[in-house]
Amino acid sequence: QKEVEQNSGPLSVPEGAIASLNCTYSDRGSQSFFWYRQYSGKSPELIMFIYSNGDKEDGRFTAQLNKASQYVSLLIRDSQPSDSATYLCAVNNQGGKLIFGQGTELSVKP
């Protein structure tokens, strides 16, 4: 079992729709959770982080965390073509490093 798992996609949504990206992790002791966006040929860019169970909203982005289910998700409201990218889920497992999932490719169609 991989430490952090994501559906690789691609996930295709129409412009203006809600995109839902999901991630599960295996280490119950994990404490902090991150979403990075990576455009093709570019490096990952931090867009959201969440530490506590529940929802955290920042503009069009909402991160959701359920530690009991070992599940974290990212919702993107009013999706735009510029949101088309690969979204990486990352987990801090109490060590000093982040463990990344394989990423979900999102395509927003005009």
Q: Which residues bind other proteins (CB under 8 A)?
A: 4, 6, 8, 31-32, 34, 42-46, 49, 51, 88, 90, 92, 94-103
Residue 16 or 51: which CB sits closer to other proteins?
Answer: 51
Residue 6 or 64: which CB sits closer to other proteins?
Answer: 6
Residue 17 or 49: which CB sits closer to other proteins?
Answer: 49
Name residues whose C-beta falls within 8 Å of residue 9's C-beta, 6 or more positions apart in sequence: 104, 105, 106, 107
Helix (H, G, I), strand (E, B) or coil at 84: coil
How far apart, in whole angstroms, are the C-alpha atoms of residue 102 and residue 37? 12
